[in-house]
Amino acid sequence: MTEFHSKPLDALRLVPGVSRPRRLRRTAALRSLVRETTLSPDDFVYPLFVVPGAKTRNPVTSMPGVDQLSVDLLAGEARELESLGIEAVLLFGIPSAKDPLGLESYADDGVLQQAIRALKDASPELVVMTDVCMCEYTDHGHCGLLDSDGYVLNDETLEVLGRIAVSHGEAGADVVAPSGMIDGMVGVIRAALDGEGLERVAVLSYAVKYASAFYGPFREAAEGAPAFGDRRSHQMDPANAREALREAALDVEQGADALLVKPALGYLDVVRRVHERFPELPLAAYNVSGEYAMLKAAAASGWLDERAAVLEVLTGIRRAGADLVVTYHAKEAAAWLQERL
């Protein structure tokens, strides 16, 4: 056996100029120096769930470390995020009352509108992104207005989405993020914003959102699970990738300022395709609640190193082509990255 292996090894040693990739992996400093994909706290967008009331912090049982927060606690949250170098949040509101039309979604004094104002007062430089959808506000839990058969009406829903986006823009949102996968949503929202003098508000479109099994914990956090049926009539089939490019192209044509793919881990190929097809636009990927919960559960059981696994996952999402990562790991990951410095 020794003689068998020695010949090719000896030959390799004698060949001048042979590349040895391991030379650049020898020390931590060398590995850092030639690292192709970087990960930084300013790559992260941190989701926040806002509820009515005061001094309220409701832990989300399926998402350890994530809480529903009342508006008065957001200033403290903004200061913490600023200290960690996280520059953006994505807001989800849980209203005081739900109804078939989701009326609080565009109310001037709605919980999300209050949250926007509170965050911008506390931290004017914080980028405030808002979810523009109806599922948290309707008593049926679907993403739009329904017909008598329970089907989401497309064009009728668009009018409401425009009103929601305008209310968020007027409250001070920097970016509105329509997430319902309703046909024409970007164009209608862009026109509604511009018509109210809100041209500076950007649109981050959930251009590619799949009907995924990994949203379960989010539905607890946002209290937006559908009361019946599912969302497959408007969210994408997980089997489709070419369709993602068609969806993204439509939103680009309608004036989207940035695109988002959701979920992230099972769809890294889609993240790459969208990035390569539309390199001129910033691309976000949503590291969703189920992906977060899996790592938390495995870490709690001692099955993996949480810090190493989380940073590997987030780096992989960036490597696939995401410029931004919406992630519930943002605060932990930012703290770990600061420790590296």
Active site residues: 209, 262
Taking a C-beta distance cutoff of 8 angstroms, is the pair 290, 313 a contact? no
E strand or H helix that includes residue 118? helix 111-122
Q: In sequence order, what are the residues at sequence separation of 6 or more whose Cβ sits closer than 8 angstroms to the Cβ of residue 128?
A: 88, 89, 91, 116, 119, 120, 172, 173, 174, 175
Q: In sequence order, what are the residues at sequence separation of 6 or more whose Cβ sits closer than 8 angstroms to the Cβ of residue 209?
A: 179, 181, 235, 236, 260, 261, 262
Strands 283-287 and 324-327: parallel
Q: In sequence order, what are the residues at sequence separation of 6 or more whose Cβ sits closer than 8 angstroms to the Cβ of residue 262?
A: 179, 206, 208, 209, 210, 212, 285, 286, 288, 326
How far is CA 193 from its chain centroid? 22
Question: Using CA atoms, how far apart are residues 86 and 122, in angstroms rounded to an integer?
Answer: 15
Among residues 331, 190, 319, 308, which one has the least CA distance to residue 254? 190
Question: Using CA atoms, how far apart are residues 319 and 165, in angstroms rounded to an integer?
Answer: 31
Q: Is the peptide bond before 21 cis (omega within 30 degrees of 0)?
A: no
User: DSSP character for 211?
Assistant: -
3-state helix vs strand vs coil in the chain, percent to 5: 45, 15, 35
